[in-house]
């Protein structure tokens, strides 16, 4: 990003603010206090992806701790906050449990409301008019396009997020994961499975 020339008032010259930011970075790097790589890593994490791992930890805890799961389904906001993931926008979190007969799918038909403290930044497709409309009108077709074919006897429930209520799907724990600990389980939980357009990963063949 140091080679970037955008935003200057004159061709080639940085704005005052850019100059100040570059001056700080160059002094910090020169003094060996931090590296541009360390800064790059933080920027990448915040630009892309601060969150899905937070949601994965919530799900893994619910898979391993029945008490926590009960609390999570009853009062998602409090149970998620207990793990340290606050909703900086003050939204109410509702957690939806997938079962052998019910599959939950989350959308925001109005804009792109999204539980970012647990899921990070929304994927591009989540914000497209096509997803927002079709998740409601033909959810099974949308799921099929994501590679998720559900049997006919599974009911699909679609939940429309709003500024006040954000939804997180609690996917079913994959079979064959009985021996796994919380951290290993969290690694199986994908962002898509917590939106409801996918399933958790299946552990590598044991």
Partner 1 sequence: MADAVDRDVANMQGSEALPRKNGELVFEAPWQARALGMAVALSNQGLYPWDDFKCHLIAEVAEASERARESADSPAAAYYTSWLEALEHTLLDKGICSPEELERRTAEFASGAREEVY
Task: Note the residues at the interface with partner 1 (CB under 8 A).
Answer: 1-4, 6-7, 12-29, 31, 33-34, 36, 38-43, 45-47, 50, 84-86, 88-90, 111-117, 121-122, 127
Kindly state the tokens that stand for 46. Answer: 């915040």
- Contact of 171 with 189, CB cutoff 8 Å: yes
Nearest CB to partner 1, comparing residues 143 and 167 = 167
Kindly state the tokens that stand for 110. Answer: 């109005």
- Contact of 170 with 98, CB cutoff 8 Å: yes
In the complex, minimum distance from the CB of residue 164 to partner 1, in angstroms, rounded to a whole number: 13
108 is catalytic: yes
113 is catalytic: yes
111 is catalytic: yes
Which of 108, 137, 161, 162 is an active site residue?
Answer: 108
Question: What residue spans of the chain are helical by DSSP H?
Answer: 16-30, 36-48, 52-64, 66-74, 76-82, 116-119, 129-137, 139-145, 182-186, 191-195
- Contact of 39 with 25, CB cutoff 8 Å: yes
Nearest CB to partner 1, comparing residues 63 and 126 = 126
26 is catalytic: no
Nearest CB to partner 1, comparing residues 123 and 174 = 123
Which of 15, 26, 36, 111 is an active site residue?
Answer: 111
State the catalytic residues: 108, 111-113
């Amino acid at each position: 990003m140091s080679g970037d020339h955008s935003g200057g008032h004159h061709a080639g010259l940085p704005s005052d603010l850019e100059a100040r930011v570059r001056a700080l970075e160059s002094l910090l790097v020169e003094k060996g206090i931090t590296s541009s790589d360390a800064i790059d890593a933080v920027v990448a994490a915040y630009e892309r992806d601060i969150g899905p791992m937070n949601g994965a930890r919530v799900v893994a805890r619910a898979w391993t701790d029945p008490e926590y799961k009960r609390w999570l389904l009853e009062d998602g906001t409090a149970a998620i906050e207990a793990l340290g993931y606050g909703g900086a926008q003050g939204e109410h979190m509702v957690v939806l449990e997938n079962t052998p007969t019910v599959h939950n799918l989350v959308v925001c038909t109005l804009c792109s409301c999204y539980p970012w403290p647990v899921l990070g930044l929304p994927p591009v497709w989540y914000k497209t008019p096509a997803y927002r409309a079709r998740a409601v009108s033909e959810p099974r077709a949308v799921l099929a396009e994501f590679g998720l074919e559900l049997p006919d006897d599974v009911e699909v429930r679609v939940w429309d997020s709003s500024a006040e209520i954000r939804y997180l799907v609690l996917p079913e724990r994959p079979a064959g994961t009985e021996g796994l600990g919380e951290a290993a389980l969290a690694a199986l939980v994908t962002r898509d499975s917590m939106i409801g357009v996918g399933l958790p990963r299946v552990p590598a063949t044991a």
